[in-house]
């Protein structure tokens, strides 16, 4: 009875709303008007059309290309054995999520909806094949709706629903992976960069259209006045003179006999008239929404002293890594946990440090080594080198120095510990005395 009631409630009212800024879990009495203070939400079609604009698509493509080929690793948590077979099965599920998609194509599909709709969706299907126990199928995020109210105490309760040809179909939280970058308490749906910037993208497209019309419209920049008393015949003679003797020749037109010849500007002749500064400002706003330096969008010239490496590092931190975290959650919570290996294995992307970051890290690690905080092997692991087989490799620097001094009898060693001169007669350090 309760399940039927939940499904009935889920099919009503605000549940069909798929985007933020719309009224959620509230109603307006009939006949009463509500003042609209926020811009109306774009439709799914508008968002996806905006996402095809070169500026927006550039940001989306950067993330798709980066994460579709980003190296990754599957770690064993807490040193709980090697789990070679289990890791191989997880890798198989990731590299071949279904019979059609590769890892790259699957990643690009779900990332597109993640950046346009803030809805990374995939259907999760379990299989009996131990080498491929989980299949992932990309799902159009705009078709998935939330079931409200939702029973959080029952893991088999319907969490999502989708309108299909034979009616509404319901899914549990284990059947559908629905991940967002932004979460709110007042609505179940997220907020994508395209949603944040869609007004500015619209302004940008309108400005581009107007600038294109002005730049391509074959209209003269100036109007010429021949002064008072000019007859129609004289006007036609002047037009013929300009067309046949001046235009395209580079000659200076010379006229005489009129009181005055004046010109009036009737068309933009510089960048201000083409709204190029406004276009640059809009590009910066779109870059802020996505977390990408405007210079990377190709329309803004850098005026600061940041190097390309700094911009690349900033872009990875603000644009790529948040969506990498969403994919990590997808694989950890629905593939690894679905195999019963949650808390045993962990999927993570490997991001290489920039040269500047490497230098800072190297200096810090070496300083900590000489201060006795890290051992040699810990330093080697942090810097990506193989561990040393030396007997001193698992000692801190002070311990290592002391041990070497004792082992080799080095005079004046660390804290005087190595000052163990051989004073025996055979050693010759007793001055010949018995």
Residues 182-238 pLDDT 10s: 988 888 888 888 888 877 777 766 766 666 666 665 555 666 766 667 778 877 877
Helix (H) or strand (E) holding 50: helix 44-50
Rounded Cα distance, 249 and 78, in Å: 82
Q: 409 CB contacts (<8 Å, ≥6 apart)?
A: 418, 420, 421, 422
Query: What value does the mean pLDDT take over residues 310-333?
Result: 89
- What rounded mean pLDDT belongs to the chain? 77
Rounded Cα distance, 281 and 381, in Å: 45
| 193 and 294 inside one domain | yes
CB 77 within 8 A of CB 322: no
Dihedral sign (CA 108, 112, 115, 119): negative
Rounded Cα distance, 9 and 5, in Å: 6
Q: In this structure, are strands 160-164 and 167-171 parallel, antiparallel, or unpaired? A: antiparallel
> What's the token pair of residue 118?
């803030």
Rounded Cα distance, 74 and 72, in Å: 7
| 131 and 60 inside one domain | yes
| 307 and 189 inside one domain | yes
410 vs 245, which has greater pLDDT? 245
Q: Report if residue 61 sits inside a domain.
A: yes
CB 224 within 8 A of CB 258: no
| 277 and 398 inside one domain | no
17 vs 379, which has greater pLDDT? 379
Q: Which pLDDT score, from 0 to 100, does residue 55 have?
A: 80
Rounded Cα distance, 282 and 197, in Å: 9
| 276 and 382 inside one domain | no
pLDDT higher than 50, residue 267: yes
Half-sphere exposure of 385 (CA within 13 A, CB side): 11
Q: Where are the alpha helices (DSSP H) in 96-164?
A: 103-116
- Last residue of one domain, picked from the residues 330, 352, 374: 352
Q: Report if residue 71 sits inside a domain.
A: yes
| 201 and 108 inside one domain | yes
| 375 and 282 inside one domain | no
pLDDT higher than 80, residue 261: no
Rounded Cα distance, 68 and 363, in Å: 32
pLDDT higher than 90, residue 255: no
| 388 and 276 inside one domain | no
Structural domain of 390: 357-408
Rounded Cα distance, 93 and 133, in Å: 7
211-238 CB burial, b ≥16 within 10 A, e <16: beeeeeeeeeeeeeebeeeeeeeeeeeb
Q: Report if residue 188 sits inside a domain.
A: yes
Q: Report if residue 413 sits inside a domain.
A: no
DSSP, res 396: B
Q: Which pLDDT score, from 0 to 100, does residue 412 have?
A: 52
> What's the token pair of residue 140?
């159009």
pLDDT higher than 60, residue 22: no
Coil, strand or helix at 264: strand
Count of domains for the chain: 2
């Amino acid at each position: 009875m309760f399940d039927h009631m939940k499904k009935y409630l889920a099919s009503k009212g605000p549940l069909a709303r798929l985007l933020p800024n719309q009224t959620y879990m509230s109603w307006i009495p009939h006949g009463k008007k509500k003042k609209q203070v926020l811009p109306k939400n774009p439709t799914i079609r508008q968002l996806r059309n905006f996402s095809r604009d070169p500026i927006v698509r550039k940001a989306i493509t950067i993330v798709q290309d980066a994460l579709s080929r980003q190296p990754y690793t599957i770690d064993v948590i807490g040193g709980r054995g090697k789990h070679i077979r289990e890791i191989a099965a997880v890798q198989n599920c990731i590299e071949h999520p279904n019979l059609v998609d590769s890892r790259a194509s699957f990643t690009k599909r779900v990332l597109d909806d993640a950046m346009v709709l803030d809805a990374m969706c995939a259907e999760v299907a379990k299989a009996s094949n131990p080498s491929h126990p989980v299949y992932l199928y990309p799902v159009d995020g705009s078709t998935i709706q939330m079931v409200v109210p939702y029973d959080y105490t029952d893991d088999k309760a319907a969490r999502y629903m989708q309108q299909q040809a034979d009616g509404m179909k319901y899914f549990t939280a284990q059947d559908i992976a629905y991940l967002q970058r932004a979460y709110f308490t007042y609505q179940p749906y997220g907020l994508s960069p395209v949603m944040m910037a869609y007004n500015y993208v619209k302004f940008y497209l309108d400005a581009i259209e107007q600038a294109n019309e002005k730049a391509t419209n074959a209209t003269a920049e100036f109007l010429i006045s021949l002064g008072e008393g000019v007859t129609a015949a004289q006007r036609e003679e002047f037009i013929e003179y300009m067309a046949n003797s001046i235009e395209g020749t580079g000659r200076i037109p010379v006229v005489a006999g009129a009181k005055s010849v004046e010109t009036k500007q009737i068309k933009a002749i510089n960048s201000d008239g083409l709204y190029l500064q406004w276009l640059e400002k809009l590009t910066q706003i779109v870059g802020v929404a996505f977390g990408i330096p405007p210079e990377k969008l190709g329309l803004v010239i850098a005026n600061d002293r940041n190097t390309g490496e700094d911009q690349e590092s900033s872009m990875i931190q603000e644009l790529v890594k948040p969506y990498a975290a969403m994919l990590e959650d997808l694989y950890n919570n629905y593939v690894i946990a679905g195999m019963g290996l949650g808390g045993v294995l962990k999927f993570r992307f490997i991001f290489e440090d920039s040269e500047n970051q490497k230098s800072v890290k190297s200096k810090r690690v070496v300083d900590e080594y000489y201060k006795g905080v890290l051992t040699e092997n810990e330093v080697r692991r942090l810097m990506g080198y193989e561990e040393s087989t030396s007997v001193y490799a698992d000692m801190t620097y002070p311990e290592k120095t002391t041990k070497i001094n004792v082992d080799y009898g080095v005079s004046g060693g660390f804290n005087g510990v190595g000052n163990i001169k051989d004073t025996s007669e055979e050693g010759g350090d007793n001055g010949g005395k018995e």
